[in-house]
Amino acid sequence: MSSLMKERYQLYIGGEEVESSDDEVIDVINPATEEPFATVPAGTSEDVDRAVAAASEAQEEWAKKTPVERAGVLREIADTLRENAESLGEVGTRDQGKPMSSSIGTVHGTASFFDFYAGAADKIEGETIPVDEDTLDFTVREPYGVSGHIIPWNAPLAIIGQGVAPSLAAGNAAVIKPAPTAPLLALNFAEICREAGVPDGVVNVVTGATEPGAALSGHEDVDTISFTGSVPTGSAVMESAAKNITPVTLELGGKNPAIVLPDADLEQAVSNVQMGIFTNAGQVCAAPDRAIVHESVYDEFVERIVEGAESYDLGPGAEDPDMGPLNYEEHFESVLEYIELGIEEGATLETGGEALDRDGYFVEPTVFSDVENDMQIAQEEIFGPVLCVIPFSDREEAVEIANDIELGLTGGVFSENVTDALQTAREIEAGSIYVNQWFGGSAAVPFGGYKKSGIGRELGMQGLESYFQSKNVCVNLDDD
């Protein structure tokens, strides 16, 4: 494969790198230096039309391949990702900002998604339904056709993988629209697919800002849409898709509670919450934003989490520090505004809260104590390295605090008492619950939210449900 890092990228449509219909380009900024280092096309609705047409043309032949044949291509994608893990990691770190080891780890995690769905490709089965002795009734599962994937900037390659892998396994073709502030891994992924033998047109990438995203979500020839991002944008995608009755899978925001019961292993709880909220500079929808801690261990928890936060080494992702920068300037400013808001609301800033005095979008790991759950910093997704620590007096109050929010993506509980842990896990209103850990699971585990955190599931066998539809066939066997 040629070098994955370029100064000027093109769209990827129909198996080829092509120019946009418009001459405008978007600068790709290194968030650690604030300097541009590459450009991508500012794709248009016309470019989306071309990509969807290419996908539609390629999809029929792709769907005709046997499940075993499709599985072989998916395994080749997984192998090619692994072979290029270091190069992809370098691109991702410059593009998105995360530490190098994390970027490389994400490549291997994405490869595991393609391995999993390669194994699932020949297990997409229908069923026979007993009706009566003169009727044969059965279902078949068929691909939708063209899937649209609107990708965020915080974990682009992983989110591409968790949507595109099941889509291809089910026999669909895909059009990917990455975020304008982290577009390069999507284009690199297209090159990976080409090297892995994906037929031309089965995977397409259109870069750009709002126009191509809106065109994709509202396109009459896109048959199913996967979107990961904020609640307001997800709502807009859903509204746009509704005009064509296009089904959507939405994985939206989180403001996730980590409940620390009085009998918890405090070292374990602190370690996991710290890892969860400061990974990727807090730019993780599943991060434990709210630590809800029993009053008997509250002070010790705060003391330990502050000590941990202050030990973090910040720097450019290429240096593989503990934590890198935020992804782009406007988001950086938004996180700092939330920190100022928390102080104004009366929360206690225990540590952090400042931008580093250097180039790049760096914000210190930040911990607020004395947080009340009705504060904005406790209700709204900050999407940065900012932890809110909230006290409670009994388990029922902890669950009430955890659920007193519009979102419900993930949640967790730390306790040595299995009964309390499982009861609490049952009562938290969220799609994924972690017990005595954070970010548990694998490619086989479904992920998605309750309430305003989304619709549908990604990953696991449930992740296939967004990419095929069921057809019932009812046969009369009576000769009379």
pLDDT value of residue 441: 87
3-state helix, strand, coil in the chain (%, to 5): 40, 20, 35
Domain 257-442 listed as CATH 3.40.309.10: yes
Q: Decide if 467 contacts 168 (C-beta within 8 A).
A: no
pLDDT value of residue 301: 98
Nearest alpha carbon to residue 260 among 99, 141, 392: 392
pLDDT tens series, the chain, 480 aa: 545 778 999 999 999 999 999 999 999 999 999 999 999 999 999 999 999 999 999 999 999 999 999 999 999 999 999 999 999 999 999 999 999 999 999 999 999 999 999 999 999 999 999 999 999 999 999 999 999 999 999 999 999 999 999 999 999 999 999 999 999 999 999 999 999 999 999 999 999 999 999 999 999 999 999 999 999 999 999 999 999 999 999 999 999 999 999 999 999 999 999 999 999 999 999 999 999 999 999 999 999 999 999 999 999 999 999 999 999 999 999 999 999 999 999 999 999 999 999 999 999 999 999 999 999 999 999 999 999 999 999 999 999 999 999 999 999 999 999 999 999 999 999 999 999 999 988 999 999 999 999 999 999 999 999 999 999 999 999 987
Rounded-to-integer distance, Cα 55 and Cα 22, Å: 21
**Identical fold between 11-252+453-472 and 257-442:** no
Supply the DSSP string of 128-159, one letter for each residue. B----TTEEEEEEEEE-SEEEEE--SSSHHHH
pLDDT value of residue 4: 75
How would you class 79 by CB atoms within 10 Å of its CB: exposed for 0-12, middle for 13-18, buried for 19 or more? middle
Rounded-to-integer distance, Cα 378 and Cα 216, Å: 34
Rounded-to-integer distance, Cα 163 and Cα 464, Å: 9
Known catalytic membership, residue 285:
yes
CB neighbour list of residue 316: distance below 8 Å, 6 or more residues apart: 32, 33, 324, 325, 360
What is the residue extent of each domain of the chain? 11-252+453-472, 257-442
From 251, 364, 427, 465, the catalytic residue = 251
Known catalytic membership, residue 195:
no
Q: Decide if 41 contacts 20 (C-beta within 8 A).
A: yes
pLDDT value of residue 479: 81
Burial profile 421-439: b = 16 or more Cβ within 10 angstroms, e = fewer: beebbebbbbbbbbebebb
Q: How far apart are the first and last CA of the chain?
A: 64
CA 92 to chain centre: 15
Farthest CA pair distance, the chain:
86
Query: Distance of CA 270 to CAs 296, 306, 409, Å?
Result: 15, 10, 21
pLDDT value of residue 3: 56
Quick one: CA torsion of 180, 184, 189, 194, rounded to 10 degrees? Answer: 110
How would you class 93 by CB atoms within 10 Å of its CB: exposed for 0-12, middle for 13-18, buried for 19 or more? buried
> What SS3 class is residue 40?
strand
Quick one: CA torsion of 235, 237, 243, 249, rounded to 10 degrees? Answer: -90
Q: Decide if 398 contacts 259 (C-beta within 8 A).
A: yes
Q: Decide if 339 contacts 298 (C-beta within 8 A).
A: no
How would you class 384 by CB atoms within 10 Å of its CB: exposed for 0-12, middle for 13-18, buried for 19 or more? buried
DSSP 230: -
Token pair 């709880």 is found at 269
> Strand 410-414 and strand 146-150: pairing?
unpaired
Which residues are paired to 445 by β-bridges?
A: none
Query: Distance of CA 113 to CAs 63, 83, 162, 291, 368, Å?
Result: 20, 15, 6, 30, 36
From 285, 350, 364, 381, the catalytic residue = 285
pLDDT value of residue 336: 98
Q: Could you tell me the pTM of the whole model?
A: 0.96
Rounded-to-integer distance, Cα 184 and Cα 95, Å: 7
Q: Decide if 338 contacts 380 (C-beta within 8 A).
A: yes
For 132, the token pair is 């009566």
Rounded-to-integer distance, Cα 194 and Cα 13, Å: 11
CATH topology of domain 11-252+453-472: Aldehyde Dehydrogenase; Chain A, domain 1 (3.40.605)
Rounded-to-integer distance, Cα 409 and Cα 239, Å: 21
Q: Which amino acid is at 405?
A: I
Rounded-to-integer distance, Cα 431 and Cα 429, Å: 7
